[in-house]
Structure 1
Amino acid sequence: MVGLFAGIGGLELGLAHHGWHTELLCEIDPGARAVLTHHFPDVELHTDVTRLRAIPARTELVAAGFPCQDLSQAGRTAGITGPRSGLVDEVFRLVRRKRGPRWLLIENVPFMLQLGRGAAMRHITIALEELGYTWAYRVVDARAFGLPQRRQRVLMLASRTEDPRPVLFGADAGALEIGDQEQDPCGFYWTEGVRGLGWAVNAVPTLKGGSALGIASPPAVRLPSGELVTPGIADAERLQGFAPGWTAPAVTAAGVRQGHRWKLVGNAVSVRMADWVGSRLAAPDGTTPEYLPLAPGAPWPVAAWGHNGVTQRAPVSTWPVHEPYEDLKNFLTDSRLLSARATAGFLRRTGMGRLRFPPGFLDDVESHLDRMGGWAA
């Protein structure tokens, strides 16, 4: 396989669990390249996808978690033709130059289904069909694989020779309600409070990449005791399925700021998502659902497939499996108390909007501020 926009190797690591061997990697971020060099020392590593002339002739799978900055609600939302997300066309250029790999795996944020009334998806699917691919995609939630992070991502699988539908749609377990907000830790974003909160029971909301200046943007967690803590970088790595310390080479070898590790983790592909795709590629068993036509111009659903101009929705959930769920409390080994300044700032913002908060939550926030020294602190 080949990994384009490889980040810190989430797709490659998860697929490796099922026999896929990485022949070539491409990544432009210096910190991410340091991580890849450390963990994939024998793999050819390229810097700029626009300068990559070809992929190895024997490539069976190309994986591409192409940049989401122009597609994300947290980014610029410039669209699929934006300077970063438009790089997906480089993937199509590289697979066009060869007879083509058996599989093309693309990963990105769910907002790409909505942005520009679905223009990003139309761009990608039209390009794939022009290249002779049958494509399928599914939005999946990291919690389905046991990780206490409410993280949804689009996984798109395409092939010129294989049917991607049994791989992505052959298993569906249905969404679950996880935990009890009275008894379990609950994650939220302390940087919000006016228009959003990101509240998640026995989970953290989607980990973010932080600021362009390398300033970390971790979520907060309200413990059952009422204390507020923020996960550390090692906790975040584990919440993405990596071993703690996975991104340390970004600092030790590339010399980037410590906060840049949050960007690397927040932009990464969950290892367990990739592991699930690898398991399905190895054994695409199961019964595929009855598909329904998708009218031109209709919103893109949670899952769909297409070929030769025909597009159909797949009635499946974002939870393909129910892997044993791991409680959030076990992922807070590197946490620290939320500071008085951060707590006070959050409380100020809650008074500026019209959000409704879970019963007792703001009382806990005020009590935590008192324990941290109050408004004076």
Structure 2
Amino acid sequence: MKTAGLFAGIGGLERGLAAAGHESVLLCDIWAPAKAVLADRFPGTRLADDVTTLEALPSETELLVAGFPCQDLSQAGMTAGIGGRRSGLVDHIFRLLDRRPVPWVVLENVSFMLSLDRGRAMDFLTGEFEARGYRWAYRVVNSLAFLPQRRERVLFVATTSDVDPASVVLVDEVDPPKSETRLDRHAHGFYWTEGVRGLGWAPEAIPTLKNGSTIGIPSPPAILLPDGTVVTPDIRDAERLQGFPVDWTLPATTVARASSRWSLVGNAVTAPVAEWLGGRLAAPGAFNVARDRVFAGGGRWPRAARFDGTRRLAVEIGAFPVWRARPALTEFLQYPGKPLSVRATRGFLARTERSSLRFVDGFQDRLRAHLRNMDAGAGSAIAAE
């Protein structure tokens, strides 16, 4: 299908869809670093600056895709909801659909919007699509199905065509393998910025890549390696953990600081997830109605649901459409990580020691050993000077 991408970021949806045979005819993003990446990586594709001033979608558009801003919907953000200044930009999707309807729409956003403000965001989105004659289906999909990053996102598919959207997004399911937690054998990702109420613990994977602070300070996760070293991954491995080639975001440095690359990667759609979805858009499967459940409503939305034109139905399906084989995390990483600093390690340990969280046996001991090694290294460097 001919695809228009709004809030395109660095083109995760579009890159994945292109791998499945779809073609971008329009990309739109307002942030200069993102536009620099899009211009370089999608040469020849029309690039628009601002969704608020975009008058109409290209006439050949068959599929509209949008990873609309999640800052107002995420737990890491201000949780202002769908009416927030950033996430409220979704209104322009419906303005453009009213100007020039297209048969297919795909939206992507954080899973937290299913429960935020008692599901108000989903009430709004589904109501707007239903009012325009669309059937819809959505599902939470975990990037861990494809790559060693645990990242849950809602994939929402709506259509006015004769194809059931459930046959696109509510098919394919596997049980992921059980994750082992052996500190001496496996690498473990966690967020060193947490430690009191959460940790983001992920065996043989990293927790969700984030977009960093509001002032552009990167916030990569930490990785505890089997030898006890604690590192933060290189930006090139972060790109790979989102399914992009190495240095995909490098063009951003022509217009912004290098740290902007972390925000770009953290905001991106995982490309292999989009490729799977694009494959199902091209070749829908067969939805099994035995998965249908009663749609309770009245607050938190289910992790998967559909609207068949008459009824809203919850759907029983997991977050793993596939499970792609991958090497151990230590083998997946291609570039040396940066050792977690003394200050960061000390602050993280202090938070864990006053929290009520339970940690894997030996985890804090390994962090203390890392801190001693870092302290010793700093002392040796001072002595050498």
TM-score, length of structure 2 as denominator length: 0.94
Spell out, residue by residue over 1:149-175, the C-alpha distance to the aligned partner (whole angstroms, 9 max, x if none). Answer: 000000000001131101111211134
Is 1:213 the equivalent of 2:215?
A: yes
**2:349 is paired with a residue of what secondary structure?**
helix
Pick from 202, 205, 211: which aligns with 2:204?
202
Query: Greater shift after overlay, 87-96 or 330-339?
Result: 330-339
Q: How does 1:275-286 map to 2 (within 5 A)?
A: 275-286=275-286
Between the aligned partners of 2:368 and 2:311, the Cα distance in structure 1 is 55
Between the aligned partners of 1:351 and 1:266, the Cα distance in structure 2 is 29
Give the match for residue 83 of structure 1: 85
Give the match for residue 59 of structure 2: 57
Between the aligned partners of 1:374 and 1:366, the Cα distance in structure 2 is 12
Q: Does structure 2 retain, via aligned residues, the 8 Å contact 1:139–1:303?
A: yes
The Cα of 1:289 is off from its aligned counterpart by 4.0
Q: Does structure 2 retain, via aligned residues, the 8 Å contact 1:238–1:331?
A: no
Q: Does structure 1 retain, via aligned residues, the 8 Å contact 2:24–2:45?
A: yes
Between the aligned partners of 1:85 and 1:305, the Cα distance in structure 2 is 23
Between the aligned partners of 1:346 and 1:375, the Cα distance in structure 2 is 19
Query: Greater shift after overlay, 161-170 or 200-209?
Result: 161-170
Structure 1 unmatched runs, 5+ = none
Between the aligned partners of 1:349 and 1:296, the Cα distance in structure 2 is 38
Between the aligned partners of 1:67 and 1:129, the Cα distance in structure 2 is 22
**1:31 is paired with a residue of what secondary structure?**
helix
Q: Does structure 1 retain, via aligned residues, the 8 Å contact 2:228–2:370?
A: yes
Give the match for residue 272 of structure 1: 272
Q: Does structure 2 retain, via aligned residues, the 8 Å contact 1:289–1:315?
A: no
Give the match for residue 95 of structure 2: 93
Aligned residues, how many? 373
Q: Aligned letter for 1:155?
A: L
The Cα of 1:325 is off from its aligned counterpart by 2.8
Classify 1:376/1:191 alpha carbon distance in 2 versus 1 (closer, same or farther; 3 Å): same
Q: Aligned letter for 1:313?
A: A
Give the match for residue 165 of structure 1: 166
Q: How does 1:12-91 map to 2 (within 5 A)?
A: 12-91=14-93
Is 1:313 the equivalent of 2:314?
A: yes
Between the aligned partners of 1:34 and 1:250, the Cα distance in structure 2 is 5
Q: Which has the higher helix share?
A: 2
Give the match for residue 181 of structure 1: 182
The Cα of 1:31 is off from its aligned counterpart by 0.3
Q: Does structure 2 retain, via aligned residues, the 8 Å contact 1:64–1:107?
A: yes
Between the aligned partners of 2:108 and 2:268, the Cα distance in structure 1 is 10
Give the match for residue 372 of structure 1: 374
Give the match for residue 257 of structure 2: 257
Is 1:342 the equivalent of 2:344?
A: yes
Classify 1:88/1:326 alpha carbon distance in 2 versus 1 (closer, same or farther; 3 Å): farther
Query: Greater shift after overlay, 118-127 or 280-289?
Result: 280-289
Spell out, residue by residue over 1:122-172, the C-alpha distance to the aligned partner (whole angstroms, 9 max, x if none). Answer: 000000001110010000001112x00000000000001131101111211
Q: Does structure 2 retain, via aligned residues, the 8 Å contact 1:226–1:368?
A: yes
Q: Aligned letter for 1:305?
A: R
**1:83 is paired with a residue of what secondary structure?**
coil
Q: Aligned letter for 2:226?
A: P
Give the match for residue 236 of structure 1: 238
The Cα of 1:376 is off from its aligned counterpart by 8.2
Q: Aligned letter for 1:361?
A: F
Aligned-pair identity in percent equals 51
The Cα of 1:90 is off from its aligned counterpart by 0.6
Structure 2 unmatched runs, 5+ = 380-385
Between the aligned partners of 1:350 and 1:296, the Cα distance in structure 2 is 38
**2:35 is paired with a residue of what secondary structure?**
helix
Between the aligned partners of 2:93 and 2:319, the Cα distance in structure 1 is 26
The Cα of 1:245 is off from its aligned counterpart by 0.4
Between the aligned partners of 1:46 and 1:114, the Cα distance in structure 2 is 33
Between the aligned partners of 2:378 and 2:63, the Cα distance in structure 1 is 57
Q: Aligned letter for 2:258?
A: Q
Between the aligned partners of 1:195 and 1:181, the Cα distance in structure 2 is 23
Q: Does structure 1 retain, via aligned residues, the 8 Å contact 2:231–2:339?
A: yes
